[in-house]
Amino acid sequence: MSGQDEPRRDQRSPIREFGAGAAAMAPILVGIVPLGLIGGVATVEAGLGIAEAMGFSALAFAGAAQLAALDLMARDTSLPVVVMTALVINVRVVMYSASIAPHLAHLPRRRRLAASYMLVDQVYAISIVRFTRDAEIDRWRFFVGAAVPMLMVWVSTTGLGVLVGDAVPDAVPLAFALPLAFIALLVPTVTDRPGVVAALTAAVVATVAAPLPANLGMPLAATAGILAGWIAAARRETV
């Protein structure tokens, strides 16, 4: 019978429970390292330094949004557009918040506010899977155990990336690693046909509208993509 050889909740040591979160996060951290290094390189491309790289990571703790913001800054996009883009990319975390809230509702408010800072894609993903599967674990400890290593790796690799950029030979177009990272991040977010429609529409509009000043083509393309995907999903339902 499952659960029978697990220690009872009050017998589990805190270390083990934090450790369970960290263990679940460990394989994911391997994939975070290249993203962080690229983030560091992107920071340099944007004309900024190690303080900005690590500061941004510690403040925002948001992978794709940071990379996007840095990419736009390197392309001389106006800061309001940079901020709007990063926020729009992050709006989806509202869904994470809604989804995980029932599982953390028992926590005192202070801990819920602290958990909010750590509600990053990967932390959310492994936590929600574990929480729905296992009713016995201490959720706060698992969550923190997963989030803290992630934060440490993210901040340190983005800092390291600022230094690493110089070490790579010129023949390797390191700046191209950023669009490649976006491709790697993009694929798992496309889960259905409307998602494909959204991505293709945005790609076409972005390419056509690229000559527009102040990088306006990008938010224009994103909006077009979101609307196209939304319409595609709505049409599917009415068929």
- Per-residue x/- marks for other proteins, 18-57, CB under 8 A? ------------xx-xxx--x--------xx---x--xx-
Minimum CB distance to other proteins, residue 1 (Å): 32
CA distance 78 to 238: 40
184 is a site residue for other proteins (CB under 8 A)? yes
19 vs 195, beta carbon nearer other proteins: 195
Spatial contact of 146 and 123, defined as CB atoms under 8 Å apart: yes
Within positions 109 to 138, which residues make up the interface with other proteins, using CB under 8 A?
109, 112-113, 115-117, 119
Nearest distance in Å: CB 185, other proteins: 6
8 makes contact with other proteins (CB under 8 A)? no
C-alpha to C-alpha distance for 220 and 239, rounded to whole angstroms: 29
- Label residues 65-96 b or e (16+ Cβ within 10 Å = b): bbbbbbbbbbeebeeebbeebbeebbeebeeb
Which 141-170 positions form the footprint of other proteins (CB under 8 A)? none
CA-CA-CA-CA dihedral for 85, 90, 95, 97, to nearest 10: -150
**Can residue 100 be called a binding residue for other proteins (CB under 8 A)?**
yes
- At its nearest, how many Å lie between other proteins and the CB of residue 152? 18
Residue with tokens 């992978």: 63
* Per-position b or e across 19-33, b if 16+ CB within 10 A of its CB: ebbbebbeebbeebe
Minimum gap (Å) between residue 79 Cβ and other proteins: 5
Show contacts with other proteins in window 74-93 (CB under 8 A).
Answer: 79, 82-83, 85-93
Query: Judged by CB under 8 A, which of 189, 193, 214, 235 binds other proteins?
Result: 189
* Single residue of 181, 193, 235, 239 touching other proteins by CB under 8 A: 181
Which among 117, 145, 115 has a CA at the least distance from the CA of 130?
145
